Amino acid sequence: MIYQIPFIAVIGLIAVGMYAILFKKNLIKIAIGITIVESGVNLFLITLGYREGGVAPIYTHLPPGTNIPEGMVLPVPQALTLTSIVIGVAVLALILSLIIKMYRKYGTLNAYEMRRLRE
Amino acid sequence: MKSEGMSPIVQTIAGILFPMVLIFSFYVIMHGHLTPGGGFQGGAIGASAVAMLIVALGAKKINDMVGEEGISSFESIGGLVFVIIAILGLFMATTFLSNFLVGDTIFGKIPPFGSNSGILNSGGILPLLNIAVGMKVIGGLSAVVLVMALATKEEKK
Amino acid sequence: MNEWITHAPILIIAIPLFAAFLTPLVDRVSRRGRNALVFIAVILTLILTLALAKDVFDHGLRIYTLGGGSVDSTLVTLPSGYRLPVRIILEVDGMSAFMVVISVLISFVGLLYSFSHIKENGAGKYYTLFLLMLVGMLGMEVTGDLFNLFVFLEILSISSAALIAFYARGGKPVEASIKYIVISSLAALFVLFAIGLLYGEYDLLNMGAIAKKISLAGEIPFLAQIAFVLFLTSFALKAGAAPMHMWLPDAYGEAPGAISMVLVAATQASLYALLRVCFTIYGAAMDTAVIGGILIILGLISIFIGVTMALIQIDMKRLIGYAAVAEIGYILLAVGVGIFELAKGEISDYSMKALQGGIFHIFNDVMDIGLLFLVVGAVMYVTKESNLNKLGGLAHSMKYSSIFFIIGMAAVSGLPPLNGFASKILIYESVYKVSPLISIIAILASMLMLAIFVKIFHSVFMGPKLTEYERKDAPRLMLCSMAILAAIMIFFGLFPDFVVNNIVNPAVNALVKNLPYISAIGGA
């Protein structure tokens, strides 16, 4: 059961993030919601690669007596997660720049008051 | 954030700490093929060093010393080095991004299989690609922080 | 000299990337040098793409391994003798070559258009983002690896969101861009979740290898079914199918001139990803009636919502945006009928015709809607106004632009002898077999589209001359880019047999029979 807790945490993080994106009016809270969903997906990717009792998949100063390669955790999901974190940083920088520009135009951060594009 | 920076104590300590953090970031970038780290991680540490300077000295002073265009050019050079090394793999060896430095002079040693104590001289083109990515990330993230600091200061006038 | 054609799949990604990194440096030195650099990069990519497409249509699949010993060494041998496909592999088959030609052609026309109306302040960043958008589109269409697809999808959506908000006139483009990046980033995160699910099930990221495992098993396991639902929803959201189309009229309506056209090509790249996942990865084992039915329903809702919402718009670009939603509905309807008739292992005649109509319509849709966006952009450049109530009488001064608008209007509504008729008649004939009611709805929607565009034509170009607007036509480069599109459209309309046999048929064959795709990977 203890090995299922990261997957429950993934579902919880994605649910909290989607609630923040869907139901909050402040633009900064929507941006934080995107970051929370991205953290959830990254946690899911890392948890996929776990092997019980494994060590880090690095050859430098390996603890003596570990099996190569059965005693190491999988390295491919770690590369996928790293790429996803970089992409998340880029998206966050773009969203925050756009929010700064909207604040200077309208003076408010409430998404319902600044809607001009309807129907 | 006041636009003149913070008090002289903070400025002095930031000036002392900046080279140390920068050297740590270069260490993480250079040893990317041996220990956890590499291009993006070391670059993020370097960008946080530059961000510390921006908070301590004020964004206007940093903009006068190194403009936003200078940091952007530094970033573009990093990207260019990456693509040039990858295309060199096409001309000097078989395919794009092939490891043509293994067995050669720079970074060319082939380490023995299994647990070893970390030989810096190995890895082929990987340390060079790490340096290029590190340059790009330091330039990119510092430019983002600098431009945002300048943009939020302007509206206080 | 035929050495370089084997390196063509990676060069069409590497050349725009190199030019995109070089543009900010050259921009600080001289402006004409930067214009020349961008132009040369796109021309080189266009030549390489046409050569690669001709080679793939004649000889079949072409494969490229990054970092391998030779171009074909796709498998890595472990010390125990087990062979795995773990390298990054690019696979160009008929469908990929088709989409790559579309993307580069539309980017070239958009670049010509951009030279004449981009203001000089900050133009260096505009061209960098433009080239990055081209890299994202091309990367999505030639890759053979699922995670590479995700990375290029994110490159495409970030650069296009930055380009939509490039000229912040009064705050509306920035609002459209925020909507676009929030929805698009959420869709891409769900695609990453589905890729993680597939990796957890099969321990492989290569599309051909996963397709081989699914076709050997014969039925789809539960985790792969959940992954399929997430793929279908996220890629249909990025392609603009209703009821997930909310971002599309805002984004197309507020983007600067040529970017609206290149955005249409970008949404077609997401549609290509949807087709690739449907046919190649899950092809042999999916339940054709259910998936076909879902795509037919999505297509019908898109057609209905697109056409009816377009009737009430008063802003020119938003109206064409809603018409673009309806056109995506036609493509999804045709592909859905094609899957519906596809029995396991054989292709019936009607299914082939439906798929031919759908894939041909991808090309026609981009060109028709693109030409309309270009003409409307020229009108906005001359008059600085986009409200239909305030414009009028422009046919006296903008003669050539009104002719191009008539050509685009006739093509979108499916009138002969233009290319819209050729693909739409294939769709009408094959959809009739599933249910005649759907065919009637499709034909009615085409007629309504003609009504919508006649409305624009009448209120913008006809009528007495208004004195507020100066009397000049669009700049010559804009007219040149419109003429290129119109020439290709007339050629496709007059010789549809030639196009269907030589260009569309290899694409459809490559989609439906996924055996060459799988066997090119090889190994266990």
Query: Which of C:59-98 have CB within 8 Å of B?
Result: 64-71
Alpha carbon dihedral B58, B60, B62, B63, in 10-degree steps, equals 160
What average pLDDT does range B31-53 have in this prediction?
91
Does B157 have pLDDT greater than 50?
no
A64 contacts chain B (CB < 8 A): yes
The one-digit pLDDT tens for each residue of chain C (524 residues) are 457 788 888 899 999 999 999 999 998 888 889 999 999 999 999 999 999 999 888 888 888 888 777 777 777 777 666 777 778 888 898 899 999 999 999 999 999 999 888 887 888 899 999 999 999 999 999 998 899 999 999 999 999 999 999 987 778 899 999 999 999 999 999 999 999 999 999 888 888 888 888 888 878 889 899 999 999 999 999 998 888 888 999 899 888 888 999 999 999 999 999 999 988 888 767 777 888 889 999 999 999 999 999 888 888 889 999 999 999 999 999 998 888 877 655 667 778 888 889 999 999 999 999 999 999 988 888 888 778 888 878 887 888 888 999 999 999 988 888 888 888 998 988 888 878 888 899 999 999 989 888 888 888 888 777 777 677 777 888 888 899 999 999 999 899 888 888 888 888 888 888 788 888 776 64
Q: Higher pLDDT residue, B122 or B141? A: B141
- Mark yes or no for CB contact B35/A60 under 8 Å: yes
Give φ, ψ of A72 to 5 degrees.
Answer: -105, 155
**Domain-located, residue B27:** yes
B26 Cα to chain C: minimum distance (Å): 23
d(CA C73, CA C90): 12
Within a domain: C211: yes
Nearest to B60 by CA among B68, B72, B52, B49: B68
Give the C-alpha separation, C157 to C136, whole Å: 8
Which chain C residues contact residue A84 at CB under 8 A?
Answer: 192
Chains within contact range of chain B (3+ C-beta pairs < 8 Å): A, C
Give the separation between CA C82 and CA C391, rounded to whole angstroms.
70
The reply to whether A101 falls in a domain is yes
Q: Is residue C524 part of a domain?
A: no
What is the pLDDT at residue A92?
Answer: 95
**How far does C182 lie from chain B, in Å, by closest CA?**
20
Contact A117 C175 (CB under 8 A): yes
Distance of CA C524 to the CA centre of its chain: 35
Question: Do residues C402 and C392 lie in contact, with contact meaning Cβ atoms separated by under 8 Å?
Answer: no
Query: The whole model's pTM is what?
Result: 0.94
Q: Which of A41, A42, A97, A109 to mutate to test the interface with C (most CBs of C within 10 A)?
A: A41
Residues C28, C34: Cα–Cα separation, whole Å: 9
The count of structural domains within chain B is: 1
Question: For residues C110 and C258, is the Cβ–Cβ distance under 8 A?
Answer: yes
Domain of residue C228, residue span: 8-519
Distance CA(C461)–CA(C474), nearest Å, equals 14
- Return per-residue pLDDT of chain A as tens, 119 residues: 888 899 999 999 999 999 999 999 999 999 999 999 999 999 999 999 888 888 888 888 888 777 777 788 888 899 999 999 999 999 999 999 999 998 888 888 888 888 777 76
In a domain, C444, yes or no: yes
A97–B contact, CB cutoff 8 A:
yes
Residues in chain C: 524
On chain C, the residues whose CB falls within 8 A of the CB of B88 are none
A28 touches chain B (CB under 8 A): no
- Classify B123 in phi/psi space as left (phi over 0), alpha (psi -120 to 50) or beta: left
- Both tokens of C484, joined, read 């290129």
Q: What is the CATH number of the domain that holds A77?
A: 1.10.287.3510
Per-residue pLDDT at C152: 95
Q: Could you tell me the residue range of the domain that residue A91 belongs to?
A: 5-54+69-106
Which chain A residues contact residue C189 at CB under 8 A? 37-38, 41
Gap between the Cα atoms of C97 and B99, Å rounded: 29
For chain B, the average pLDDT equals 86
Q: Is the pLDDT of residue B110 over 80?
A: no
Contacts of C48 (CB under 8 A, 6+ apart): C8, C11, C12, C15
Give the best residue of B69, B76, B91 to mutate against chain C (max C CB count within 10 A): B76
As given in the structure block, the two tokens for residue C163 are: 């380009």
Decide: residue A103, CB within 10 A, 0-12 exposed, 13-18 middle, 19+ buried: middle
Whether residue B2 lies inside any domain: the answer is no
Q: Which domain holds residue B109?
A: 8-154
Say what the pLDDT of residue C192 is. 95
pLDDT at B70 over 80: yes
Tally of domains in chain A: 1
Looking at chain A, which subunits does it touch, using at least 3 CB pairs closer than 8 Å as the criterion?
A: B, C
How many pairs of residues across B and C have Cβ atoms under 8 Å apart?
53
Whether residues A89 and B117 touch (CB distance < 8 A) is answered with no
- Tell me what pLDDT residue C338 has: 87
Which residues of C are less than 8 Å from A23 in CB distance? none
Q: Would you call C516 an interface residue with chain B, using a CB distance cutoff of 8 Å?
A: no
ipTM field: 0.95
